Structures are given as structure tokens and as C-alpha cells.
Amino acid sequence: MRRENQSSATEFLLLGLPIRPEQQGVFFALFLGMYLTTVLGNLLILLLIRLDPRLHTPMYFFLSHLALTDISFSSVTVPNMLMSMQTQDQSMPYAGCIAQMYFFIFFTDLDSFLITSMAYDRYVAVCRPLHYTTIMKQELCAFLVAGSWILSGASSLSHTLLLTQLSFFMENQTRISEFFLRGIPGSPEQRQLLFGIFLCMYLVTLTGNVLIILAISSDPHLHTPMYFFLANLSFVDMGLTSSTVTKMLVNVQTQLHTISYVGCLTQMYFFLMFGDLDSFFLAVMAYDRYVAICRPLHYCTVMSLRVCSLLLALCWILTHIVALTHTLLMAQLSFCVVGEIAHFFCDIIPVLKLSCSDTRINELMVFALGGTVLMVPFICIVISYIHIVSAVLRVRTPGGGSKAFSTCSSHLCVVCVFYGTLFSAYLCPPSVASEDKDIAAAAVYTLVTPMLNPFIYSLRNKDMKVALKRLLSHRRITAS
């Protein structure tokens, strides 16, 4: 802890381009024309690739993402510059500056990663043409794009969080560099027992979800939209558990319950992103089951690779924006003393209670964004299953309805466990709410639910059972 005798800045002044006032009209028209050309040209590329089936290849798949990135990259910087030139107002609020820097770094890095993916695609097409279709499969293309988004987001987030450390100190106010995590309630003996239990559950979670991903990727029969989203759900479950439980296990074992300020914000960001992704993926999987049962003849066209990739990217983008919004708003708050977070990880509400700033905006965003992210996917799931049940009840073939609905049973079990825990944790009346209850509920949806998902999908799904048996037998033969 150290004292800071400096004021907090609320805005910056952008000097803009080094041009004379009489030249600004010419440069404004020039840059506006270039910006509109950039946006319209890349939109035209997106539209052509979308409409022409001959362009539904890996190269043009990457090109469409590059065109979208170029539009976003230009839109991050140029509109604000044009507005400043037109209004002569060169000020920019602190939050706007941080957000602009974040998205500038994000789309710059994404541009670089996508260009690298396109170079690899051209290498395979020219140097290994006979293996092109087997190497550049739909799954690999989607993985390369998703990996590009994730790595770019992690890079830009690191720079943004480090920058927020350099400012926003209230005058003559103490700056804190760490928090204390209360952790799991109980005596030291009970905590050691819980450490062993949670460690075993964490290892089972990682092993089960890795097996699910390997089984789906290695079995061509599982290269369908449903299992594509299931593999992504397994990856997200591992991320959700790892973002919270690993720090808790380290704290229990070392008896050091501190977490740095940057580490707390980083943990909060990834917890929110992976938690929201879980909710969105469950909604997308419900939509997939709705199309499969209610519109079976159109399933291949509705749930095409392009639609699945678009849904996947949309889930990542939306959850990324929500998590980033909460993290940046939290970074603007002041914390006067080193406080104890009444949780085993940095959740929003316990951290907000430690702030000595005005947290009304943060609480409003928690209510608005949190309610939206929680309720919108849940409503979509409910609507999907209403249509599914209605379609199943109309099936006249003996046993046909139960067979159709059996493909949804695993997903429905996961939905009930996930949302049942969340609703009990966040929507319970204040009279029955308590810190220990919140901690127990958080432990369920960050550790128990991700651990149960592989078992639910493997025990209740014949295709997954067969794929897992093939995978394990292949590994056994390889090892011997």
C-alpha cells in the first residue's frame, strides 16, 4: 500500500492530425471518403461470399472474417477522428480512451492472426494439394478463427488492465494493490478435506471434458453441429473451472489468501466471460435441437457450417463485451483500504461491497447486463423446448416421439443443473440469502456442473459412448 497525491483525470485531449485549420475540410472529406469506401468494399465482400456457394471454401471463410475485422478496425478510430475534426472538440473521456485502445489492439492483433491463418491455408493448398480437404476441415477453420479471437482478446485485455493501474486515483487517497479472499468457510481441518475433494473434482472435470473434445474431434460420425457446440461447451467448462478453482486450491494449500488487484480483475473477466458463454452455448444447443426435431428437412441448410461459425463467433463477441464492460467499470472504482472479499474468487458483488466510490452505475449494469445474459438465453431455451415438446406430441409413430426427444435429454439435464444453481444463487429472496449460501452455490456452478456435464453426455448418449470407447481403445493400442 502506498500514498498517491495526485488527481484523477476524467478525459484526455487528442491533438489529431498536424494540419492547418483551412485544410481540415479537405482532409475531412478525404478521410470520410476513404472510410466509406472501406466499409462498403468490405461489406460487399461479405455479401458476395455469403451469396455465392462457390466461395464457401476455407480461403474465403477466412477472408470474410478479415473483411469484418477491417470494418471494425477502421470504425474504432476513424469516426472519432472525423467527429473531432468536424466539431473542433478534441476531448475524449477516460473510459472512451480505454475502450478505444482495447478494441484497436484487439482488431489489430486479430488482423494479424487471420492473415497468418490465410497464409497457412495457401501453404496447404499449394504444397499439399492432395491433403487439402482433409487438413483444412470445417473444424480446423472454426478452431483457427476462434483461437484468433481468443488470443486477440487476451492480448488487448492484458494491455487494458495494466493501463488502468496507472491512473484513476482520487486525490490524497490510498491505493491498494491486493485483496484478501475469505475462501471456503470452515475449520483448517475441514478446509484440508475440502481441498482434497475439490482437487479430485477439478482433475475429473479436466479429464472428462478433454475426453469429450478428443472423442468428438477424432470420430467423423460426431462432426455435426450438436457435437460441435458440445466440444465448445466442454472447453468453456474447463475455462470456467480453471478461472476460479485453481486460485482457491492454491490459497487453501499455501494459507495465503491474497490476490493482486490486476489478478482480481483478470479473474473476474474470465469468470464472467466463461460463465456467460456457458449460458449462450446452452441456448444455441437448444436451438440446434429445435431445428433437428421441428424442421428436420431443413436441418442441413439451417445449421450449416457458416451458421454454426456465426453463432459461435456471436457468443464469444457478446460475452466478451459484457465481461469487458463489467471489468472496465470495476477498474474505475476506488478502494480505500485492503478489504476481505467474502468469496473464494473475485465475483462482482463481493468486490463492489469493498469500494469507497459511488457504485450505482456498476450495480445498474450488473442488474441490466446480468439479467439480460441470464434470462435471454433461458427464455430461448424454454421457447425451443415448448416447440420441441409440441412437435414430439404430434408424432404418431409408436416410440417415435420418445426416440426424437431422447436426443434432447442430455442437454435438458445440463440446463436444469446449470440454471437451477444460478437461479438459487442470484434470484433468491434477501431473507434467505447469505454469504455461505452464495459460496456453496458458486462452488456448484463453477465446479460441480462442469464436472457432471461429461458424465451426463457420455452416459445418456449412445454415440458418445461409442466414440469414447473407440478413443480409449485406440489410446490403449497406441500405448502398448
Q: Which of 124-128, 226-230, 341-345, 463-467 has the lowest mean pLDDT?
A: 463-467
For residues 197 and 81, membership in a common domain is answered with no
Residue ranges of E strands in 375-462 = none
Instruction: Strand 258-260: give its sheet, edge to edge.
Output: 258-260, 178-181, 340-341
The last residue of one of the domains, among 164, 188, 223, is 164
| Rounded Cα distance, 3 and 373, in Å | 39
Residue 27 CB neighbours (<10 A): 16
89-93, 285-289, 372-376, range with greatest mean pLDDT = 285-289
Measured between alpha carbons, how far is residue 265 from residues 272, 325, 332, 343, 422 in Å? 11, 12, 11, 14, 22
For residues 29 and 94, membership in a common domain is answered with yes
- 370 or 201: which carries more pLDDT confidence? 201
Flag whether pLDDT at 311 surpasses 90.
no
Would you state the pLDDT for residue 475? 60
Flag whether pLDDT at 383 surpasses 90.
yes
For residue 2, being part of any structural domain is answered with no
Which residues share a beta bridge with 181?
A: 341
For residues 66 and 212, membership in a common domain is answered with no
Flag whether pLDDT at 336 surpasses 60.
yes
- Mean pLDDT value of segment 337-346: 78
Would you state the pLDDT for residue 427? 60
The tens digit of pLDDT for each residue in 226-268 reads 888 888 999 999 999 999 888 888 888 877 778 888 888 888 9
Residue 239 CB neighbours (<10 A): 20
Cell numbers representing residue 239 in the block: 475455462
Would you state the pLDDT for residue 44? 93
Would you state the pLDDT for residue 120? 92
Flag whether pLDDT at 3 surpasses 50.
no
- Per the CB < 8 A criterion, the answer to whether 38 and 66 are in contact is no
- 406 or 314: which carries more pLDDT confidence? 314
The last residue of one of the domains, among 97, 131, 164, is 164
Residue 411 CB neighbours (<10 A): 25
| Rounded Cα distance, 399 and 409, in Å | 15
For residues 185 and 136, membership in a common domain is answered with no
- Per the CB < 8 A criterion, the answer to whether 101 and 143 are in contact is no
The last residue of one of the domains, among 117, 144, 164, is 164
Would you state the pLDDT for residue 171? 39
Strand, coil or helix: 380: helix
For residues 143 and 247, membership in a common domain is answered with no
**In the structure, what pLDDT confidence band is assigned to residue 403 with cuts at 50, 70 and 90?**
low
| Rounded Cα distance, 455 and 447, in Å | 14
Q: Which of 317-331, 343-357, 392-406, 462-476 has the lowest mean pLDDT?
A: 392-406
- Mean pLDDT value of segment 41-68: 88
For residue 3, being part of any structural domain is answered with no
Would you state the pLDDT for residue 173? 45
Would you state the pLDDT for residue 262? 80
Residue 122 CB neighbours (<10 A): 13
Percent of the chain with pLDDT over 70: 84
Measured between alpha carbons, how far is residue 10 from residues 169, 187, 219, 224 in Å? 11, 46, 55, 50
The tens digit of pLDDT for each residue in 276-308 reads 999 999 999 999 989 988 888 888 888 888 788
Would you state the pLDDT for residue 260? 83
For residue 378, being part of any structural domain is answered with yes
63-67, 357-361, 449-453, range with greatest mean pLDDT = 63-67
Cell numbers representing residue 435 in the block: 454469504
- 409 or 200: which carries more pLDDT confidence? 200
- Mean pLDDT value of segment 325-330: 85
For residues 150 and 182, membership in a common domain is answered with no
**In the structure, what pLDDT confidence band is assigned to residue 364 with cuts at 50, 70 and 90?**
confident
Would you state the pLDDT for residue 97? 80
Q: Which CATH number goes with the domain that contains 369?
A: 1.20.1070.10
| Rounded Cα distance, 77 and 84, in Å | 11
**In the structure, what pLDDT confidence band is assigned to residue 400 with cuts at 50, 70 and 90?**
low
For residues 178 and 156, membership in a common domain is answered with no
Q: Which residues contact 387 (CB under 8 A, 6 or more apart)?
A: 290, 294
Q: What is the DSSP letter of 344?
A: S
Flag whether pLDDT at 431 surpasses 70.
no
For residue 1, being part of any structural domain is answered with no
**In the structure, what pLDDT confidence band is assigned to residue 440 with cuts at 50, 70 and 90?**
confident
For residues 190 and 73, membership in a common domain is answered with no
**In the structure, what pLDDT confidence band is assigned to residue 394 with cuts at 50, 70 and 90?**
confident
Cell numbers representing residue 75 in the block: 470504425
Cell numbers representing residue 194 in the block: 475440502
Q: What is the mean pLDDT of the chain?
A: 80
Would you state the pLDDT for residue 119? 93
Domain that holds residue 260: 173-479
User: Taking every pair of C-alpha atoms in the chain, what is the biggest distance, in angstroms?
Assistant: 81
Flag whether pLDDT at 87 surpasses 80.
no
| Rounded Cα distance, 349 and 363, in Å | 8
* Phi-psi category of residue 4: left, alpha or beta, with phi > 0 → left and psi -120 to 50 → alpha: beta
| Rounded Cα distance, 239 and 153, in Å | 15
Would you state the pLDDT for residue 175? 55
Residue reference for cell 459460496: 439
Torsional sign, CA 213, 217, 221, 225:
positive
| Cα 449–Cα 450–Cα 451 angle in degrees, nearest 5 | 90
For residues 184 and 45, membership in a common domain is answered with no
For residues 180 and 233, membership in a common domain is answered with yes
Which 3-state string (H, E, C) describes 335-380?
CCCCCEECCCCCCHHHHHCCCCCCCHHHHHHHHHHHHHHHHHHHHH
For residues 315 and 457, membership in a common domain is answered with yes
The tens digit of pLDDT for each residue in 142-201 reads 878 888 888 888 788 778 777 766 654 443 344 566 788 877 776 777 778 888 888 999
Measured between alpha carbons, how far is residue 114 from residues 47, 55, 120, 347 in Å? 19, 17, 10, 33
For residues 155 and 258, membership in a common domain is answered with no
For residue 407, being part of any structural domain is answered with yes
- Per the CB < 8 A criterion, the answer to whether 343 and 352 are in contact is no
* Phi-psi category of residue 172: left, alpha or beta, with phi > 0 → left and psi -120 to 50 → alpha: left
- State how many domains the chain has: 2
